[in-house]
């Protein structure tokens, strides 16, 4: 019923002798949040890097709105409507919060590499910038250099930068890690509000957040998909209980 925005089929990534991602197929649909969970080293970040183009798969393919983007560079994928946030904070550390987000918006503006005129004359996207900063709750901090933010604030900034590029498909790698409870609440609400006209893939360790947000859930272990389906089905999947939570496990 929902359109598939991003599809991965038979993705495999080998690092030397290690199969970090092995035969992973996943569909991300518009209007849905697809959560990916799994223990440390399961291959979740590697999967995101394959989808975003930072790593090239050993085999398999990636389709964006039906078009093959398997060998497209990360910047081409971004311009095609893919936005991602990193697990390990990756910001323009020497620039202010506002400049970080403004650069994100600039990258998707009509003339991102214009060589004349300042950056202040671009009214249309400056509104997008203030909105994005506002939505992650950093308005009061917008003039601060990113380097000087607390870890949680840097995570918020990561998300603001994704918002400012206004992507159609969003990949978030542990967006809540390192955030305080009240900030996390705000971001959970924000993520939920994004799915209306977008497709989201969210990797997250916080199970309460996962079961609150996810429309579809995929569990990974040792590079493979262990289970996938609605959160209710996955929750009672015996294989998942054994593999991911240990024999006595109880999700949420």
Interacting residues with ligand ATP (CB under 6 A): 15, 18, 20, 38, 40-46, 87
Structure tokens at 57: 């798969």
Selection from ligand ATP, Mg ion, another protein, none that 12 binds (CB < 5 to 8 A by kind) is none
Those residues with Cβ within 8 angstroms of residue 120's Cβ, 6 or more apart along the chain or in another chain: 126
Selection from ligand ATP, another protein, Mg ion, none that 107 binds (CB < 5 to 8 A by kind) is another protein
Using CB under 5 A as the binding rule, the residues of this chain from 22 to 61 that contact Mg ion are 44-45
Q: Which is nearer to ligand ATP, 40 or 193 (CB)?
A: 40
**Rounded distance, CA 98 to CA 120, Å?**
12
Structure tokens at 195: 């799915």
Question: Are 4 and 31 spatial neighbours (Cβ–Cβ below 8 Å)?
Answer: no
Question: Are 205 and 172 spatial neighbours (Cβ–Cβ below 8 Å)?
Answer: no
Angle between helices 151-164 and 123-135 in degrees, nearest 10:
140
Q: Which is nearer to another protein, 9 or 145 (CB)?
A: 145
**Rounded distance, CA 65 to CA 81, Å?**
10
Q: Which is nearer to another protein, 101 or 184 (CB)?
A: 101
Per CB under 8 A, 95 contacts another protein: yes
Using CB under 8 A as the binding rule, the residues of this chain from 120 to 179 that contact another protein are 122, 140-141, 143-145, 148, 161, 165
Q: What are the backbone dihedrals phi and psi of residue 146, each rounded to the nearest 5 degrees, phi first?
A: -55, -35
Binding residues vs another protein (CB under 8 A): 52, 54, 73-75, 78-79, 84, 86, 90-96, 99, 102-104, 106-109, 111-119, 122, 140-141, 143-145, 148, 161, 165
């Amino acid at each position: 019923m929902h359109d598939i925005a991003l599809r991965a089929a038979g993705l495999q990534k080998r690092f030397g002798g290690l199969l970090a991602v092995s035969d992973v197929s996943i569909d991300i649909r518009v209007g849905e949040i697809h959560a990916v969970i799994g223990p440390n080293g399961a291959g979740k970040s590697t999967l995101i890097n394959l989808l975003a183009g930072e790593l090239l798969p050993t085999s398999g393919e990636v389709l964006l709105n039906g078009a093959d983007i398997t060998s497209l560079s990360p910047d081409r994928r971004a311009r095609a409507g893919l936005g991602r946030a990193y697990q390990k904070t990756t910001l323009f550390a020497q620039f202010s919060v506002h400049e970080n987000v403004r650069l994100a918006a600039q990258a998707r503006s009509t003339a991102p590499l214009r060589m004349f005129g300042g950056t202040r004359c671009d009214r249309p996207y400056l509104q997008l910038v203030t909105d994005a900063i506002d939505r992650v709750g950093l308005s009061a901090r917008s003039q601060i250099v990113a380097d000087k933010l607390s870890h949680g604030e840097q995570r918020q900034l990561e998300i603001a930068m994704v918002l400012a590029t206004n992507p159609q498909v969003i990949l978030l790698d542990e967006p809540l890690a390192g955030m305080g409870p009240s900030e996390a609440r705000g971001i959970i609400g924000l993520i939920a509000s994004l799915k209306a006209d977008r497709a989201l893939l969210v990797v997250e360790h916080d199970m309460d957040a996962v079961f609150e947000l996810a429309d579809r859930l995929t569990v990974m272990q040792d590079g493979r998909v262990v289970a996938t389906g609605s959160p209710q089905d996955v929750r009672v999947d015996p294989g998942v209980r054994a593999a991911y939570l240990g024999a006595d496990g109880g999700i949420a």
